[in-house]
């Protein structure tokens, strides 16, 4: 594994190279295509428990979000009646979806919202978190803020700061997510980076 100092500077050329790399991964591309069809065409709303459960199970399988009782989460989402807030891009909705029976499914909740409205909801992931901490602390924008990224409003604001700081505002949230995820997966593999909290 390369040292932190050797991680390439987030330039447009670097981001483009990672996006090209992601586009060449047939399994990821096929999964994203099927999820887009599922969330936008087949079951765009969240009123029927069967529709919600199908989306929860599929997302859990593709992203390995470690959800062992998908029905509980699907029922929770049904009770929340999320469609209005989801369309508005309400960041507090992620927290509301994430809190289920004493567990925090934070990463899953951000993915669930993002797959409905990718232009409104960036995806939280441990790799993305690690890259944000590395790049923004390195630039002196913040000293230490990993715990604060567990707050979704703060996470969204941090993504905005990152895009502006490195002149990446021309990229979509999906582009930024794919770049940070692939980069984090490469330079901070799981055996070296252990999550401190349960944020499935």
Q: Give tens-digit pLDDT for 123-156.
A: 999 999 999 998 987 655 554 566 689 999 999 9
Task: Say if residue 82 is in the same domain as residue 60.
Answer: yes
Task: Say if residue 73 is in the same domain as residue 132.
Answer: no
Exposure b/e, 27-36, CB count within 10 A at least 16 = b: eeeebbeebe
Local structure of 119: helix, strand or coil: coil
- Other beta carbons within 10 Å of 88: 11
Task: Say if residue 107 is in the same domain as residue 161.
Answer: no
State pLDDT tens for residues 160-198. Answer: 999 999 999 999 999 999 999 999 999 988 754 444 333
User: Mean pLDDT, to the nearest integer, of 64-68?
Assistant: 90
H or E segment to which residue 188 belongs: none
User: 116, 145, 166: which is the final residue of a domain?
Assistant: 116
Task: Say if residue 151 is in the same domain as residue 86.
Answer: no
Task: Say if residue 74 is in the same domain as residue 133.
Answer: no
User: 84, 99, 116: which is the final residue of a domain?
Assistant: 116
pLDDT at 70: 97
Residue 15 forms part of a structural domain: yes
Number of compact structural domains in the chain: 2
User: 84, 116, 148: which is the final residue of a domain?
Assistant: 116
| Length in residues, the chain | 200
Residue 194 forms part of a structural domain: no
pLDDT at 123: 97
Residue with tokens 């944000």: 132
State pLDDT tens for residues 22-62. Answer: 999 988 889 999 999 999 999 999 999 999 999 999 999 99
pLDDT at 125: 93
- Other beta carbons within 10 Å of 141: 14
The whole-model pTM stands at 0.89
pLDDT at 137: 78
Q: The domain containing residue 129 runs over which residues?
A: 4-24+123-187
Residue 193 forms part of a structural domain: no
Residue 43 forms part of a structural domain: yes
Q: Going along 26-161, which residue ranges are E strands?
A: 99-100, 103-104
Task: Say if residue 163 is in the same domain as residue 128.
Answer: yes
């Amino acid at each position: 594994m390369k040292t932190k100092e050797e991680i390439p500077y987030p330039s447009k050329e670097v981001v483009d190279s990672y996006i090209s790399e992601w586009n060449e991964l047939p399994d990821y591309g096929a999964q994203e295509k099927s999820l887009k069809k599922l969330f936008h065409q087949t079951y765009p709303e969240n009123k029927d428990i069967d529709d919600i459960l199908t989306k929860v199970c599929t997302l859990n399988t593709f992203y390995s979000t470690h959800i062992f009782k998908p029905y509980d989460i699907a029922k929770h989402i049904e009770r929340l009646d999320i469609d209005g807030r989801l369309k508005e891009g309400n960041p507090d909705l992620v927290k509301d979806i994430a809190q289920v029976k004493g567990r925090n499914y934070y990463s899953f909740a951000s993915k669930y919202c993002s797959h409905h409205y990718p232009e409104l909801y960036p995806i939280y992931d441990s790799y993305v978190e690690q890259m944000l901490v590395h790049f923004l602390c390195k630039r002196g924008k913040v000293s230490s803020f990993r715990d604060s990224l567990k707050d979704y409003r703060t996470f969204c604001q941090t993504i905005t700061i990152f895009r502006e700081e490195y002149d990446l505002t021309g990229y979509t949230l999906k582009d930024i997510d794919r770049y940070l995820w692939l980069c984090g997966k490469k330079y901070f593999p799981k055996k070296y980076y252990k999550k401190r909290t349960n944020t499935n």
